[in-house]
Structure 1
Amino acid sequence: MSAPQAVSKDAKVVVVGAGFAGLSAVSTLVQAGFQQVKVLEANGRVGGRVCTTKPFTRNIIELGANWIHGQKGNPLFQLAKKNNLLSEEADEDDLDDYFFKEGGKQLSDKLGEKVTALFEKLISKASDSKIDRKYRSLSLGDYLDAAFAESSLASSGDGPRIFEWCKRNECTNEAASSLFEVSAYQLSEYIELDGEFYNCLGPGGYQALLDYLMKDLPSGIILNNKAVKSIQWDLKPQGGSNHPVKLICEDDEIFEADHVIVTVSLGVLKQKAATMFEPSLPQSKLTAIEQLGFGTVNKIFLCFNERFWPEDCEGIQLVWNEGPEDKSVYTSHSEGEAWKETWYKKICGFDSVARHPTVLCGWIAGREALHMETLQDSEVKDTCLRLLRSFTGWSVPDVSKVLISRWGHDSRVLGSYSSVPKGVNGFEKQKELGEPLPLQRKASDSKPLQVLFAGEATHENFYATTHGAYLSGIREAQRLINHYSTKKK
């Protein structure tokens, strides 16, 4: 790393955002010898869409990012393993999802296993580019419906209802209001790493990984409560300043830089990109921001004084007679707002929570998740209790504490993670989003690499994941390192 060190001492770099993308970028730059680096974080805490908290007991709850997606080739898994931050692997072979029908009847375990196994097989075909050619232009929802119709399970009584639950559950993976909005074939660009998901890290949760990335950073390098209002770039030397980039914060403090790495969420870019940058972003980048999907997924944590569900129950899953992922229902409601009256149908179920034997977590995605955010905690809690009691028929006690995420209305995020809508070339748009400014294809005497972009939505293969965000930050830091290494030579 010696080549860039001497030159990089004079390069001023500002990183916007202290999530995984921002922290991996600044950590990589500092290790390479960059000495004039600052991180501007809008919140009073680091982490971005990672939010590790302890609302119920001394044990952690992940209000945001929850999983390490895969093991082989996953740098966050390797970091966690190397630093003993992984939880001990629990034996979950004896744990089952309990599927309950609307009206209080528990469905057959075998039928549930058959339908969910078929669903996973169909998703794998889409992910591995093995999807039949006739399905490639379809939405993910249309593809799944058409493929399921060819199975004997489609006429197996409650099979279609469980399949509808699978689609509703998949909406949380895609951060989508409906799978009928998501591309089927473009799913193949996403690379799913081998190995089990870790749905919970060790006692420190995701915060422990953030702390590891920050442990060797110089004091004062991260400035909290520093929201950036505007980024002026391609500035010409004037008034003694030779820096091409100027960042103006909401408190009117100004930072000058040679390079800025922007790691704000795609949700923030969708709202502010048109006015945040001066001069305006190229049309190709604005189009990418507009066309890529960015949805909301929320969690509803219910804490009880005592456990009422069986020890072998991993989750209580809700199967409706007619649910929000049924295409006819979704289409008929798309022009109006009747769906707001039944927003709770988008709750897939209530899953057990690691280290919290008396806590359940409900998942909800899309427009229903956004609507849920506008309701009082008490209304959401009462609705969840009603669902648990009516579906299971069990004696469900009152909730002692509730914790609800509201990522869609968080002005510093405005959603959860990205997806590729139907009809959009995700690989192309993600690449456009990650292209640094000024554009290399444009002949110019401007200083290179003034504005760089990182974050999960800029990663063509690992979008919507923490390791995608982490790797994108390293990618942009390495771009600067390579630039100065070449410049020195």
Structure 2
Amino acid sequence: MIEGRARLGGRVHQETLPSGHSVDAGPNWIHGTKDNPILDLAKETETATGSWDNQTYVLDENGKFLSLAESERHSSIMWDIIEDAFRHSNKHCATISPSESLWDFFQKEVARRIPDTQPDFERERDMIFKIAESWGAFVGSHIFTQSLKYFWLEECIEGENLFCAGTYKKILERIAKPALEGAVIKYETLVTGIQSSSDDGGQLKVLTRGGESFEFDEVVVTAPLGWLKQHHTEAFSPPLPARLTKAIENIGYGSLEKVYISFPEAFWATSDSKEHKVQGFCQWLAPNYAPESNPQKWNQEIVELASLTPETSHPTLLFYTYGDQSRYLTGELARLPTKEKRDALLYAWFRPYYSRLPGYEEGASACKPTGCFATAWLADELAGNGSYSNFQVGLEEGDSDIETMRDGLPDRGLWLAGEHTAPFVALGTATGAYWSGESVGRRIAKAYCREEGGITVLN
């Protein structure tokens, strides 16, 4: 195994906050509970999972909380439209124009569901549109660029979405155990080229930045889609076939980032009244009260971690950013020379939002951040300078593109694995990445086996 990092796991990785709590820098969620191997591994490793009720706390553009009833009404309409978009995409994929976006679908559906004869219809429509923009936090790219034609490829496994409260640490350890025990692993070794002599099944040569050369019968490339996009032209010799090259270029790559900010106490969750505390998700819609730091009025979204299971909870807010905001924040943080200055920027950037949570008092010790951590996948070469495969407007053959990458080049002994080659039901998820590796492993094993008298024999 040739690993560019000093550790295994890629984006499945944990960092420790100053409070001592471990948090995931990559996947936070287990998407779906029906026949999900990651959930099975969570149970096997006694990794705690958590969930919240479906309530989302919403603040309007002036920083005022909507009533829970109003929040629920708007959020329900938004999610109903999302479900209808999945069904519409599934049923009419062949006839939907590649130029149509999920945002276009929302424009039509919101107008249909909230007619102009309804009282205050403009305000009602506007609130749903603002909530809908938060879809970007699910796929790492703006709703305006989400393909409607291939929106069905975003569907996940059936069942509940569970937050991995105990982090993915023990799950990763369990998955990596066979490799750690039985494989030779070359850490901090960067691959620059993969050469195959021809399509006749001959050996492949893997070249590294340090000048090393290795020969293998089969090579499984688990580099993220973003890395393949940047390097496929020079990394493979002979060049990849045109159809595979096109598939790599066609599928989108997102920019989801996360910021954790911890406090001495969960001041937002101490009230006995549901109307005066936040538990679970909270959204700040198109804020107009941070004109200097956020003139674009980017939405903000958190999940708070204080109401998880007792053994995993801690007074921390997890902010999700995506798209232009992620690119801006990552760029600004990269320019600052010290951690103290980077932390100060994050506290200042997010203060207009967490300061509007219930229980906040300016100057109170419970409301002063004690530490933070921000991911920077956009600045990470090995992550492909981004995170999460997705499906953008203009995509014409999304399903075929995925299948082409999933097939790989077995005649050359060259295989691809990762979230971008997953089954359609789990694309872009940790479960999908796991399944893709299993699939390639099975296909290689099958290629090296033969049947003798009903017994499978390894050649």
Q: Which residue of 2 aligns with 1:453?
A: 416
Counterpart-to-counterpart distance in 2, 1:449 and 1:486: 20
Instruction: Count the aligned residue pairs.
Output: 417
For residues 329-340 of structure 1, what are the structure 2 equivalents within 5 Å?
none
Counterpart-to-counterpart distance in 1, 2:68 and 2:8: 42
Q: Which residue of 2 aligns with 1:69?
A: 31
- Match status 1:167 vs 2:144: no
- Match status 1:419 vs 2:419: no
Counterpart-to-counterpart distance in 2, 1:82 and 1:429: 35
Q: Which residue of 1 aligns with 2:338?
A: none
Question: TM (normalized to structure 2)?
Answer: 0.83
Counterpart-to-counterpart distance in 2, 1:127 and 1:345: 28
Residue identity matched to 1:124: E
Equivalent residues of 1:165, 1:348 under 8 A apart: no
Residue identity matched to 1:454: A
Q: Secondary structure at the match of 1:48?
A: coil
Q: Which residue of 2 aligns with 1:234?
A: 197
Counterpart-to-counterpart distance in 1, 2:70 and 2:213: 61
Counterpart-to-counterpart distance in 1, 2:433 and 2:354: 36
Alignment CA distance shift 1:211-1:343 (3 Å): farther
Residue identity matched to 2:297: K
For residues 176-325 of structure 1, what are the structure 2 equivalents within 5 Å?
176=141, 178-202=142-166, 205-217=167-179, 218-219=181-182, 221-234=184-197, 244-311=203-270, 312-314=277-279, 315-320=281-286
Deviation track 1:394-426 (CA, whole Å, cap 9, x = no partner) reads 425332211101111111011111111123121
TM superposition shift of 1:42 = 0.6
TM superposition shift of 1:112 = 1.1
Equivalent residues of 1:318, 1:391 under 8 A apart: no
Q: Secondary structure at the match of 1:252?
A: coil
Q: Secondary structure at the match of 1:84?
A: coil
**Which of 305, 311, 314 is matched with 1:357 structurally?**
314
Deviates more, 1:478-487 or 1:400-409: 478-487
**Which of 396, 405, 421 is matched with 2:375 structurally?**
405
Q: Which residue of 1 aligns with 2:274?
A: none
Counterpart-to-counterpart distance in 2, 1:84 and 1:162: 41
Counterpart-to-counterpart distance in 2, 1:110 and 1:191: 28
Counterpart-to-counterpart distance in 1, 2:36 and 2:17: 29
Counterpart-to-counterpart distance in 1, 2:346 and 2:41: 37
Counterpart-to-counterpart distance in 1, 2:212 and 2:256: 34
Residue identity matched to 2:422: H
Residue identity matched to 2:376: R
For residues 104-123 of structure 1, what are the structure 2 equivalents within 5 Å?
104-123=63-82
Equivalent residues of 2:19, 2:370 under 8 A apart: no
- Match status 1:151 vs 2:77: no
Deviates more, 1:51-60 or 1:72-81: 51-60
Equivalent residues of 1:449, 1:480 under 8 A apart: no
Counterpart-to-counterpart distance in 1, 2:130 and 2:160: 22
TM superposition shift of 1:433 = 1.7
Equivalent residues of 2:232, 2:245 under 8 A apart: yes
Unaligned runs of 5+ residues in structure 2 are 271-276, 334-341, 452-456
Deviation track 1:256-303 (CA, whole Å, cap 9, x = no partner) reads 001100010000011111111111111111111111100110111111
Taking only the aligned residue pairs, the percentage that are identical comes to 24
Q: Secondary structure at the match of 1:128?
A: helix
Alignment CA distance shift 1:216-1:321 (3 Å): closer
Q: Secondary structure at the match of 1:185?
A: coil
Q: Which residue of 2 aligns with 1:60?
A: 22
Alignment CA distance shift 1:261-1:107 (3 Å): same
TM superposition shift of 1:344 = 7.0
Q: Which residue of 2 aligns with 1:483?
A: 447
Q: Which residue of 2 aligns with 1:10?
A: none
Alignment CA distance shift 1:248-1:349 (3 Å): same
Equivalent residues of 1:52, 1:207 under 8 A apart: yes
For residues 365-376 of structure 1, what are the structure 2 equivalents within 5 Å?
365-376=322-333
TM superposition shift of 1:209 = 0.9
Equivalent residues of 2:205, 2:216 under 8 A apart: yes
Residue identity matched to 1:234: S
Counterpart-to-counterpart distance in 2, 1:450 and 1:457: 19
TM superposition shift of 1:483 = 0.7
Deviation track 1:205-239 (CA, whole Å, cap 9, x = no partner) reads 211111112223335533221111111112699xx
Q: Secondary structure at the match of 2:302?
A: strand
Deviates more, 1:397-406 or 1:121-130: 121-130
Equivalent residues of 1:346, 1:364 under 8 A apart: no
Task: Tell me the C-alpha RMSD between the 2 structures.
Answer: 2.9
Q: Which residue of 2 aligns with 1:7?
A: none
Equivalent residues of 1:126, 1:185 under 8 A apart: no
TM superposition shift of 1:321 = 6.4
Q: Which residue of 2 aligns with 1:444?
A: none
Q: Which residue of 2 aligns with 1:383?
A: 349
Counterpart-to-counterpart distance in 1, 2:195 and 2:292: 41
Q: Secondary structure at the match of 2:194?
A: strand
Residue identity matched to 2:56: D
Alignment CA distance shift 1:411-1:321 (3 Å): closer
Equivalent residues of 2:285, 2:299 under 8 A apart: no
Counterpart-to-counterpart distance in 1, 2:89 and 2:445: 39
Equivalent residues of 1:71, 1:78 under 8 A apart: no
Unaligned runs of 5+ residues in structure 1 are 1-38, 324-338, 439-447
Counterpart-to-counterpart distance in 2, 1:140 and 1:104: 27
Q: Which residue of 2 aligns with 1:470?
A: 434
Counterpart-to-counterpart distance in 2, 1:257 and 1:422: 39
Question: TM (normalized to structure 1)?
Answer: 0.78
TM superposition shift of 1:159 = 2.8
TM superposition shift of 1:130 = 6.6
Q: Secondary structure at the match of 2:62?
A: coil
